[in-house]
Amino acid sequence: MKKVVITIARQYGSGGKTIGKMLGEDLGIPVFSREILKKASEESGINETLFNQVDEKLMGSPLFRIMKREYRGELLSPDSDDFLSKQNLFNYQAKVIKGLAEEGACVIIGRCGDYVLRDNPNRVAVFVHAPADYCRQMAIERGAQSTRDVDRFIAQTDKARAEYYHYYTGQEWSNAKNYDLCLNSKVLGFDGCAEAIKAYINIRFGSDWREKE
């Protein structure tokens, strides 16, 4: 099987994570999301809780909106004063993502996977989006928030994702130039998005890509 890696960035409520799981099931390949944090913890020896805490503190910082620390790949040793820095923790996540891509075909949800794997010739970068009314409906159906608070929650979540992406990549999260495919899940539906991604892969790598290598 050719080591095709599908990275999915998504607006909250667009169903990107669900689409990623559907692809994994349809193609028979693993899907990684928050599992990346656990693997990064195991790789570094750093408590997994710290990976979550750093993200939360970073998103709450005013400097997060204007500063950036573009990913360069350097890993610091445990004796470094900056071993537990947010940049080093992100770099361990990036190391895990690169390792998963080397192991075989998979789906990576979020974590700036498209940027981390930008030099990987087998990367397929996807951005899933949808109009506000659709994202609101999906969020309410999932029970994520009350109807009254859902619009604010979606806006805050997407803002945090955009700022996180910009901080570590220097790029704009919603810029279509960063992706191979930008899919509207309201127009295509979840099944349609999954089929569109599979069709793109078959055109780009050949319909027999699962038998290669």
Q: Hey, where are the domains in the chain?
A: 5-211
pLDDT at residue 56, as a whole number: 46
> Angle of helix 86-103 relative to helix 48-59, nearest 10 degrees?
120
pLDDT at residue 115, as a whole number: 95
Question: Does 77 or 150 have the greater pLDDT score?
Answer: 150
Determine which of 29-43, 44-58, 108-122 has the lowest per-residue pLDDT on average.
44-58
Query: How does pLDDT run across 50-89, given as a tens digit for each residue?
Result: 877 765 445 555 555 555 555 566 665 566 656 757 778 8
Question: Does 72 or 164 have the greater pLDDT score?
Answer: 164
CB 128 within 8 A of CB 8: yes
Mean pLDDT along residues 90-94: 89
Question: Does 133 or 47 have the greater pLDDT score?
Answer: 133
Q: Look at residue 149 and tell me whether its pLDDT is greater than 90.
A: no
pTM over 0.85? The answer is: yes
Question: Does 210 or 12 have the greater pLDDT score?
Answer: 12
d(CA 185, CA 192): 8
CB 87 within 8 A of CB 67: no
CATH code of the domain occupying 5-211: 3.40.50.300
